[in-house]
Amino acid sequence: MLAAPPTRLTVCGAALLLSACGAPDSASPAGLETPPSGVGAPPTSAGVSRAYSTVLDKHYATVRAQPGECSRAVHDRFWVYGPDGKVYPTWHPPVDPQTGCAFGHEHGRDPAGSVWGSRPIPFGYVSEQFEPTARDRQRDEDHVGHKIEWANNAEAATPGGNPERIRCDILTKLHQGTHSADAMTNNMHELFFDIRCDNGMEVHWKALSRLGQPGRVDGFCAGAGTGQHAPGPASPPSSVGGKGTRALPDWDPCIRARVVEQRQHWAISERWIANYGAAAGESGVTQADRAGELRLNGAVYMAVSDPPRFMRLEVPGKIGRMIEICQTPQLRALDVCRGSEAGTVPWDDPRSPFLGASRSTLLIDSFEIDNKTGITRWYTDPLGNRISSTPFPGGTMEQHISLATKREYFGTEVRANYAGRGVHAPN
């Protein structure tokens, strides 16, 4: 894990957005103030997002609470305003610092330690922007799947033996739900990506990343794919495919053959690759004379080594619970199953070793930037697949891409296990 101390890189200039230079990229509605997250509920007069209302309503209605868990009222204190002035849920610690109750889930690394710590991270903001022009693509992603990772003053390298090395501040937020069947048919997941480097390069991106094809998902086991599955129709039906990947352990050949029969429990892993970026020449929105002058392309890689689920398409619900493998005679003695009472604990019990909390994140899985347009502020639709220097119908997502000649980078991995008191699946 990176251990570099927080270092604020001072590369902001007049051409950059205010939000890129430390100021919040959302403003409180007129006459309202934002208290520190976790202190109090939002004003009754504030507009609320679906993520703060519909999604949290469903979470508290369907998730089995463990003894001593926080109430909905305590959770409601952790909120921020989005750029649209609505109230959104945001990062909170696994344990409430005021009451000492546990929330039962975690959202990754505390963003307060990042150089981007003053910028709000509104969970569910991107999907909200489909309203009212594209409601058929509305995504109400479960609350617990929002995961944050970051690194300050991290090194990035160039491919091909180029000696250039740069230092970057990076923060990402990816929705990666690992407990339900949602990701088996839904390929669109919210991604925030912020990077600023000591060579002046800077990007701030928000979109629903399209991880592979809707209605299809890859099988995965021990670093190798096991084939593609079609668990069901795309959800929502109007979903659009992309270059990313959702790769989940499948029952056969991964769990049955590799994990149970061959006792290779280390083969368990989910691998997600979330792409971001756009090219002016592909958009059909920007001026033709700019088409060859703008390109942003990159990906964030996030792997989970303790997912609570695996794909089992022949059973109702089409998922199996990873804790089931600890019930097999072959695996009861393995370290991964010890402490779980030979697999007799429920899948959503904090004693289960499969929490969805142990993650490896490659913050720069790949990164390519080329912007010679003279423009740094851009607008896209919520999918990020059309881009313009001015807002357009359905395209009000504000993005920032600094000026740069063509460059490519890779590297910067962070490994962490965010299991803690009270954390349990669904997480």
**Residue 25 predicted with pLDDT over 60:** no
What is the tens place of the pLDDT at every residue in 214-231?
A: 999 999 998 777 889 999
The C-alpha atoms of residue 176 and residue 184 are separated, in whole angstroms, by 12
Write down the pLDDT at residue 293. 82
Going by C-alpha positions, the residue among 269, 216, 266, 264 that lies closest to residue 244 is 216
pLDDT tens-digit readout, 302-350: 999 999 999 999 999 999 999 988 888 777 767 777 666 656 789 999 9
Q: Which of 339-343, 359-363, 368-372 has the lowest mean pLDDT?
A: 339-343
pLDDT digits (tens, 9 = 90+) for 253-305: 999 989 888 888 889 999 999 999 887 666 655 554 455 688 899 999 999 99
pLDDT for the residue numbered 340: 63
Q: Write down the pLDDT at residue 2.
A: 34
Instruction: Label each residue of the chain as H, E or C.
Output: CCCCCCCCCCCCCCCCCHHHHCCCCCCCCCCCCCCCCCCCCCCCCCCECCCCCHHHHHHHHHCCCCCCECCHHHHCCCEEECCCCCEEECCCCCECCCCCCECCCCCECCHHHCCCCCCCCCCCHHHHCCCCCCHHHCCCCCHHHEEEEEEEEEEEECCCCCCCEEEEEEEEEEECCCCCCHHHHCCEEEEEEEEEECCCCEEEEEEEEECCCCCCEEEEECCEEEEEECCCCCCCCCCCCCCCEEEECEHHHHHHHHHHHCCCHHHCCEEEEEEEEEEHHHCCCCCHHHCCCEEEEEEEEEEECCCCEEECCCCCCCEEEHHHHHHCCCCCCCHHHCCCHHHCCCCCCCCCCCCCCEEEEEEEEEEEEEECCCCCEEEECCCCCCEECCCECCECEEEEECCEEEEEEEEEEEEEECCCCCCCCCC
Per-residue pLDDT tens over the stretch 382-421: 998 888 888 888 888 999 999 998 888 888 899 999 999 9
When mean pLDDT is compared across 12-16, 36-40, 72-76, 390-394, the lowest value belongs to 12-16
**Average pLDDT value over all residues in the chain:** 86
